[in-house]
Chain A
Amino acid sequence: MGDIHRYDVPGTWPTWCLGCGNFGIWNAMKNAYANMDLSPHKTAIVCGIGCSGNLSYWINTYVLHSLHGRSIPVAQGVKLANSDLTVIVHAGDGDTYGEGLGHLLHAARRNVDITVFVHDNQIYGLTTGQPSPTTFKGTKWKVAPEGVFASPVTPLPLALIAGATFVGRGFSGENKHLIALMEKAIRHKGFSLVDIGQPCVTFNYVNTWKWWNDHVYKLDETKYDRFDYELALKKAQEAGDKIPIGVLYEAEAPTFDDAYRSLNAEALAYAPINDIDVKKLMARHL
């Protein structure tokens, strides 16, 4: 196991609110990386925009702090260009299930070998509290005084149907569990989505630490077969009094990046480009 502080950016400390669920994810992330001994320079993290995306400032790897909703396409480009890298996305629920929902589904069906951690606090925190795609129906916010009309997005069943080969849910407050879950997701070869429940202590008065603690239960403490797709699809929709956390589904399938990797002897980013001959192309036009 490596040192978790090698992932710290010296002289900095997160600006999240005291008690924010992001601290738990940040801590679990660094522990997972340390357990796996990920080399910071061989790890590329792509972040979205929001409180979750600000994590990009406090992690000492290669980082691209991208656009709201676009971290998954950026991460796919990174992985396709250099499949030797470990490529991880940290983005929020607004990012991934609002602005970028289409990207999530398409990345899942391509089965690109990237890992997506969604910091799901069911609210827009950085813009001071508006309903997000995962806010519960009927919840009243200052900008939705009559209560949210639409049903929440259900990311895990959507990802499963789209073809994701690793789907899980974690909770910021179950840190040891989350560390192990993150490790599994990163080690998985293929597209991984982990939705991570995290309280927004400043704006989300519904999904509080207490609420989460009262609702989650660990799948690995039950009799559950994570390789059973039908079962996973059912379990992924469980959203009542009890919310399962852990690995919901895992499968092996060829990855998109492997298909491209075969184009060159080495990763695309390392392919020599100094003296490429196009004379044979020109000959086709003669």
Chain B
Amino acid sequence: MNNSRLNWKIGGEAGYGILTVGEIFSKAFVKGGYHVVAHPEYPSLIRGGHNTFQLRIDAQRVRAPILPVDVLVALNAETIVMDLNDVVPGGVLLYDAKSFNVAPQRGDIALCDVPLTKLVTDLHLPKVAANVAAMGASVALIGYELRLLNAAIQDVFGDKGEKIVEQNVIAAKAGHDYVTRSYPEPYKGGLRPLKGPNRMTLTGNDAICMGAFKAGMKFIAIYPMTPTHNVMTYIAAHAREYGVAMVQPEDEIAGINMAIGASFAGARSMVATSGGGFSLMVEGLGLAGATENPLVVVDGQRPGPSTGLATRTAQGDLRFCLHASQGDFFRVVIAPGDPKECFFETFRAFNLADALQTPVLILTDKHLGTSFFTSEPFETDGLNVDRGLLLTEGAVPADYSRYEATSSGVSARTVPGVEGGMFNSNSDEHDERGYFSEDAPVVAKLVDKRCRKFFTAATLLDGIKYHGNDSSGTVLVGWGSTKGAILDAMDYLRANDDVELGFLQVLFMSPFPSQLVKEHLEGRQVILIENNRGAQLGSLIKEHAQIRPDHTILRYDGRAFNADELYQKIKEVL
């Protein structure tokens, strides 16, 4: 019987292409009909250190990593020291015994010694190609097909030219053939390619970029910061094709202010950063709120405060994003939970920013933004760009007031170039024409106008997604990237324990879906799951729905939840 799932992990020092390996290996399996979740773990270093990429490969839909590793590939001694205990009894360590003098201290696993470095140097390939040889060796070891690895190599290295592709294919073959000769019995009977639909391998940040392109984003300013660095890479690669101006500003302060200027001038614009960069943007966020200029802000969270853990994951910025800036104004905060939501919610974010003329924040994190997931292609038919109340040439009324205090809180906007639409997009408190005002009734009127957008937004949005059993006595609650681990844990509960739970996923943090949250949670045992210490969603639920979670499962060590560990933790409190 063939195997249908496998957890594979590769470790090596920085500079040896571990992160590229993760992408290639993921693609090789998605091409073969499998679902993959692949997450990198690496310290904030360029050379040395200990980088790993872990792939969970499964014939069934999987959405989060799990802990026990079937096959561990060690490209350095540190991997053996740090990760060997994660290997399941009966698992395999694939390593180059001559390259480092650490003897694996496990009697219950198989050792697969492959002279990776010698294989590639004998072929006059650079030493770094050992990582590709290791993928080829792994393919043979787990009984998969080399042609699918070659296809993935072509996809990822194709832009670098035929020669690079060819060298990598040769390296993969060398590893593959060595293992086929020396270890002919595939692990657990082999993992055969499946027949299935074509699916995408992509990160949450890839999906955010696609959503932004689809929405007609024309301007983006990004100062490099992990974990949104890959947004910059993605946009840069396709900026010309999509006619997008991407600027690397001198700092995040300049970045958000440029984006506001571009938005004022009529271009859909966006910034992407992490918590530290967003801290610098706070002043600009208030400017967009006060002047009612549309703006989309992506905060890819990582652990803080301050520099924190630059390359790890967290969900600690929720309260910060909800409250950033002095004064009162309404902003939308969306927390997508998987690449599909990253795509559709980013597209929607641009429509909402235009419809509400206020900043829209998208909260993701390192885990969602930089791990690879499997997703069906997005259905883009029916996605319509809606620029809201945007007056074009000839449509400006004679008595035009930019900040008319409408019942929706949203007033018609003009952009430079439109005759007769001139106004002051004013950061000072102002009257309906935009002229500064300190008159008490006028001030209150305009503050109310901006805050009415909350009610307008609330009518446009549901704000939650409910998954699973809607009448279970216990309900799980979470947001953002924990969605994958929660859904996978529910699968374990269903399969192993015959327990069918419900899961309330809060998608919109502002406007907070108070009524729906209350309806779904009232009278049930509530288990709150978050990647922060302060149970920030829990505090919002208490505030808006007056419900206290019965149990909280919190992780705040910079790592995402493993689905199997989360399953055990849920069982402990059930």
Binding site for B on A (CB under 8 A): 9, 12, 39-44, 46, 49, 54, 56-57, 60-67, 70, 73-82, 84-85, 102-103, 106, 260, 263-264, 268-271, 273-274, 276-279, 281-282, 284-286
Closest A-B pairs by Cβ, 3 of them: A273-B216, A77-B261, A269-B266
A80–B213 touching, CB < 8 Å = no
Additional 6 contacts, C-beta under 8 A, given A42-B417, A85-B417, A263-B240: A74-B260, A82-B267, A102-B250, A102-B254, A269-B415, A279-B377
B418 near A41 (CB under 8 angstroms)?
Answer: yes
Q: What is the distance, in angstroms, from A115's C-beta to the closest C-beta of chain B?
A: 15
Interface locus among B131-139, B422-430, B476-484: B422-430
- Mark contacts of B176-216 with chain A using CB atoms, 8 A cut-off: 1 yes-contact digit, 0 otherwise: 00000000000000000000001111100010001001111
- The listed residue with most A CB atoms (<10 A of its CB), out of B198, B254, B257, B261, is B261
| Residues in B whose Cβ lies below 8 Å from that of A74 | 257-258, 260-261, 264
Do residues B218 and A268 form an inter-chain contact, with CB atoms below 8 A? yes
Query: Across the interface, which residues of B come within 8 angstroms of A263, CB to CB?
Result: 239-240, 243-245
CB-CB contacts of B282-295 with A at 8 A, as 1s and 0s?
Answer: 01100100010000
B320 touches A (CB below 8 Å): no
A56 close to B377 (CB less than 8 A): no
Q: Which residues of B contact A281 (CB under 8 A)?
A: 210, 213, 238
Query: In whole angstroms, how far apart are the Cα atoms of A276 and B250 in the complex?
Result: 30
Q: How far is the CA of A18 from the CA of B572 in the complex (A)?
A: 76
**Any A CB within 8 A of the CB of B86:** no
**Closest residue on chain A to residue B216 by CB atoms:** A273
B287 CB contact (under 8 Å) in A39, A67, A284: A67
| Residues A76 and B266 in contact, CB atoms below 8 Å apart | no
B242-281 contacts to A (CB < 8 Å): 242-245, 247, 249-251, 253-255, 257-269
- Most A CB contacts (10 A, CB to CB) among B198, B218, B423, B428 go to B218
**Out of B200, B253, B263, which one reaches A70, CB within 8 Å?**
B253
Q: B385 in the interface, Cβ–Cβ < 8 Å? A: yes
Residue of chain B at shortest CB distance from A56: B424
11 A-B contacts, Cβ less than 8 Å apart?
Answer: A40-B422, A41-B421, A61-B422, A62-B422, A70-B254, A102-B254, A264-B243, A269-B266, A273-B218, A274-B384, A276-B214
Chain A residues, CB < 8 A from B214:
276, 278
Q: A285-B200, A286-B199 are in contact. Are A84 and B417 (CB under 8 A)?
A: yes
A60, A84, A282: the one within 8 Å of B422 (CB): A60
Chain B residues near A268 (CB-CB < 8 A): 218-219, 243, 245, 262, 267
Instruction: Find chain A residues with CB under 8 A from B304 CB.
Output: none
B100 part of interface (Cβ distance < 8 Å) = no
Instruction: Give chain A residues whose Cβ lies under 8 Å from the Cβ of B428.
Output: 65
Instruction: Please give me the residue from chain A that is nearest to B217 by CB atom.
Output: A273
> Shortest Cβ distance from B208 into chain A, in angstroms?
12
**Chain B residues positioned under 8 Å from A65 (CB to CB):** 291, 424-428, 436
Kindly list chain B residues whose C-beta atoms are within 8 Å of the C-beta of A85. 265, 416-417
B251, B258, B436: which contacts A57 (Cβ < 8 A)?
A: B436
Closest chain-A Cβ to B324's Cβ sits at a distance in Å of 15
Bound state CA distance, A188 and B199, in angstroms? Answer: 53
Residues of B at under 8 Å CB distance from A?
31, 155, 198-202, 206, 210, 213-216, 218-219, 221, 238-240, 242-245, 247, 249-251, 253-255, 257-269, 283-284, 287, 291, 377-378, 380, 384-385, 415-428, 435-436
- CB-nearest residue of chain A relative to B427? A65
Q: Known contacts A81-B269, A263-B240; is A273 also within 8 Å of B385 by CB? A: yes
Beta-carbon contact of A278 and B268 below 8 Å: no
Compute how far the CA of A272 lies from the CA of B506 in the bound complex, rounded to whole angstroms: 34
Given contacts A78-B264, A276-B242, contact A41 B420 (CB under 8 A): yes
**Contact status A80-B253, CB under 8 Å:** no
Once bound together, how far apart are the Cα atoms of A281 and B202, in whole Å?
11
Shortest CB-to-CB span from A157 to chain B, Å, is 19
Which listed residue (B155, B249, B257, B418) contacts A66, Cβ 8 A? Answer: B257
Q: Which of B201, B243, B249, B284 contacts A271 (CB 8 A)?
A: B243
The reply to whether B257 and A73 form a contact with Cβ atoms under 8 Å apart is yes
Q: Determine if A64 and B261 form an interchain contact, defined as CB atoms under 8 angstroms apart.
A: yes
**Is the pair A78, B245 in contact by a Cβ cutoff of 8 Å?**
no
Could you tell me if B266 and A278 are in contact, using CB atoms closer than 8 angstroms?
Answer: no
- For the complex, what is the distance from the CA of A78 to the CA of B259, rounded to whole Å? 8
B254 and A103 contact, CB distance less than 8 A? yes
Q: Are B218 and A49 in contact (CB under 8 A)?
A: no
Whether B377 and A282, one on each chain, are in contact in the complex, defined by CB atoms closer than 8 angstroms, is: yes
Q: Find the A residue at minimum CB distance from B420.
A: A41
**Distance from B413 Cβ to chain A, minimum over Cβ atoms (Å):** 11
Contacts of A63 in B (CB 8 A): 422-426
Q: List the B residue with the shortest CB-CB distance to A114.
A: B261
In angstroms, Cα B245 to Cα A37, docked, is 30
Given contacts A70-B257, A78-B262, A82-B416, contact A278 B213 (CB under 8 A): yes
Cα distance A233–B255 when bound, in Å? 30
Q: A41-B422, A73-B258 are in contact. Are A269 and B267 (CB under 8 A)?
A: yes
> Which residues of chain B have C-beta atoms less than 8 A from A81's C-beta?
218-219, 245, 261-263, 265-267, 269
Residues in A whose Cβ lies below 8 Å from that of B262: 77-78, 80-81, 268-269
Whole-angstrom distance between the alpha carbons of A61 and B417 in the complex?
10
Which one of B216, B261, B269 contacts A76 once the chains associate, using CB atoms below 8 Å?
B261
Cβ–Cβ contact B261 & A75, under 8 A: yes
Using Cβ atoms and an 8 Å threshold, which residues of chain A touch B255?
Answer: 73
Determine if A12 and B435 form an interchain contact, defined as CB atoms under 8 angstroms apart. yes
Q: Chain A residue with minimal CB distance to B377?
A: A282
Task: Point out which of B31, B243, B250 has the most chain A C-beta atoms below 10 A from its C-beta.
Answer: B243
A77 touches B269 (CB 8 A): yes
A103 to chain B, nearest CB (A): 6
Residues of A close to B264: CB separation below 8 A: 44, 64, 74, 77-78
- A residues within 8 A CB of B421? 41, 62
Contact of B210 (CB < 8 Å), options: A70, A273, A282: A282
In Å, the complex CA distance between A85 and B262 comes to 12
Decide: A285 and B206 in contact? CB cutoff 8 A. yes
B207 CB, min distance to chain A CBs, angstroms: 9
A57-B424, A263-B239, A268-B262 given; A278·B254 CB < 8 A: no
Most chain A C-beta atoms within 10 Å of own C-beta, residue among B155, B221, B264: B264
- B267→A282 contact, CB < 8 A: no
- Residues of chain B with a CB closer than 8 A to A67's CB: 257, 283-284, 287, 427
Q: Given the complex, which residues of B lie within 8 Å of A260, measured CB to CB?
A: 245
Chain B nearest CB from A188 CB (Å) reads: 20
Question: Within the assembled complex, what's the spacing in Å between the Cα atoms of A60 and B420?
Answer: 10
Which residues in A have their C-beta under 8 angstroms from that of B267? 81-82, 268-269, 271
> What residues on B are CB-neighbors of A277 within 8 Å?
380
In the complex, what distance in Å separates the CA atom of A258 from the CA atom of B572? Answer: 62
Cα(A75)–Cα(B425), bound, Å: 13
Q: CB-CB < 8 A to A269: which residues of B?
A: 218, 262, 265-267, 415, 417
B427 and A271 form a contact (CB under 8 A): no
Contact status B416-A44, CB under 8 Å? yes
For B385, list chain A residues within 8 Å (CB): 273-274
The CA-CA distance from A279 to B214 in the complex, in Å, is: 10
User: Which residues on A sit within 8 Å (CB–CB) of B213?
Assistant: 276, 278, 281
Residue of A nearest to B155 (CB): A284
Docked complex Cα distance between A117 and B213 (Å): 36
